[in-house]
A and B are shown apart, each in its own frame.
Chain A
């Protein structure tokens, strides 16, 4: 029997309780999600985009759900220490899958900007965007999330607003018994809006946790949004994370995903460049060892002419870890003057680590320039020896080379404090001094 059945049974039994905590738009989307799940089920390894992540197995444990929406007794504003010092942000927490609203953050938001639980936001605003991008094509994980999610956060940047501080959203999975959390994040940036969003993933590692997360980002004409997603969870944590980005003309999005520690993680990132001159950059750094598995599956759909896409993902895999990268650039008919660059480079630091890399192109226009490349290899032995000849001990030399390898991605991160901090965390990670979040009591 499919792992899915227990969740369908749960929905059948508890649907009413579950809907009781949610807004109209969330409840309205459930029926189609349920029908989809009943018809198509969960993705299997035959599905190109789930080749390296066994969703059935990930969902098999008997996870509980937080149907009653209880919050742990801790006050995250007191307990949480951001791992990025001297970075002033407007800070929000989602504890398990409940937006924490007991207290409001310190740094105020510019006029008109909203960060609210979906359950408390303007229903018309939520209904205008919720599941619009995520629901376009069937995805079993997105459907399951749509069926079970009870709340989420809305980030709303009205036309022309410019964030002075980044908005930081910290997701913490903390539970004494095996727990599944289902989160939604809806980011709406209207025409010309600009801002930086920092997403931090944490887990306390006390018991097994599974997070399904669906993020939709709507970027209006000429808007400029930067998302930095940093993952510092534990080996007990599974993340099934689907991100859908819709971009209007002349908009710009840069997405930086850094996986420092995790158990099993899968990111699906779909970008739709849906207006002339839209521009996106996605970069990723993955550091994995032990039994960790990290799978990034990207699709960039050039649906309009003169759009640009740029992807750069680098993995350093040690131990028995598995890293997968799949990137598909789809240039639709009529999307002339598309420019695309896709690079994935992997270092297997141990012979037991495995990397899978699959950059792909599907082009239906003739006047385009698309490049892609991928490499899987070891550290450069001649560079290693050169350093040792100069007296740098082998371990240190390996560390320096690995850092330089991923530093090539990190150097693009525009937030200086974050860039420096991530470089430091990556170094600690390579030194073996970081096995989970380096932060605070929240993850202890």
Chain B
């Protein structure tokens, strides 16, 4: 599904990613871990084409397409979704209108008619219930006055509506209480299919329990320095990153 080769990227002239290699196959869930500031969010933003981040070297192939040549909106249409670490507030643009615009843009990309009003409302309701968001959130501005937990649920709700092939969850679990974490993780699991893949950035063992990732990668200073299965995730949860840093230095 996704192949990242020797990716270098910088933000505001500072090189953050320094040669990332990562391959994600269909139906796989990968967990990305790493100390704060190691470049996890940067990698996520580069994958979705945030213009603030400049790719200086390397390539990304997504289902055979050269991802770096696509606009952010076309990447979204091709099936890439990012749950933002810090979801953005858009006052005055209702959730309903926001989702309708997003959904219809995708349909247009695939040559389909805009979604009918009834079908759309049914879809919203079904997906809302999946993550336990009340109806009144739909008439509010996007993330306007949402609590931290509500914003994270809202990200998974949007993912559920847009049904991406590849999802990036950037610390969607942080700041959530136990119940909210369960709702988000179970919601995510329900959306999984043998065709969909994900890259999940997390620090929590509880999330590993829910997700049962196929692979765990550790990013340090802009490079993937260690890879393994879920047990690597538990080891980090228990022992932190220092032992990996030491290994790398040796």
Contacts and interface: CB of A to CB of B under 8 A. Distances in A.
A402 B102 CA distance: 17
Given A400-B93, A401-B93, A388 B87 contact: no
A391 B106 contact: yes
A400 B91 CA distance: 11
Contacts of A394: 71, 73
Contacts of B56: none
B76 A388 contact: yes
Interface string A363-399: 0000000000000000011110111111111101000
B101 interface: yes
B48 A389 contact: yes
A390 B92 contact: no
B35 interface: no
Interface string B77-105: 10001101001111111000110011101
Given A390-B76, A394-B71, A385 B90 contact: no
Interface residues on A, range: 20 to 34
A386 B93 CA distance: 12
Contact of B101 (A380, A396, A405, A408): A396
B50 interface: yes
Interface string A41-56: 0000000000000000
B87 A391 contact: no
A404 interface: yes
B51 interface: yes
Contact of A390 (B52, B102, B109): B102
A391 B102 contact: yes
B202 interface: no
Given A388-B71, A390-B162, A392-B73, A383 B97 contact: no
A359 interface: no
Contacts of A381: 52
B27 interface: no
A391 B73 CA distance: 4
A24 interface: no
Contacts of B51: 385
A391 B161 CA distance: 12
A382 B91 CA distance: 13
B72 interface: yes
A15 interface: no
Given A401-B93, A404-B93, A391 B88 contact: no
B163 to A, nearest CB: 12
A262 to B, nearest CB: 25
B90 A404 contact: yes
Given A391-B76, A393-B73, A405-B92, A385 B50 contact: yes
B198 to A, nearest CB: 16
A286 B190 CA distance: 47
A404 B76 contact: no
Closest 3 CB pairs of A and B: A404-B92, A391-B76, A386-B88
Interface of A: 380-383, 385-394, 396, 400-401, 403-405, 407-408
12 contacts: A380-B88, A383-B90, A387-B90, A388-B71, A388-B73, A388-B76, A389-B48, A392-B101, A393-B73, A400-B97, A404-B90, A404-B92
Given A388-B73, A394-B71, A404-B92, 17 more contacts: A383-B89, A386-B87, A386-B90, A388-B72, A389-B50, A389-B84, A390-B76, A390-B81, A390-B98, A391-B73, A391-B106, A392-B105, A393-B73, A400-B98, A401-B93, A405-B92, A408-B91
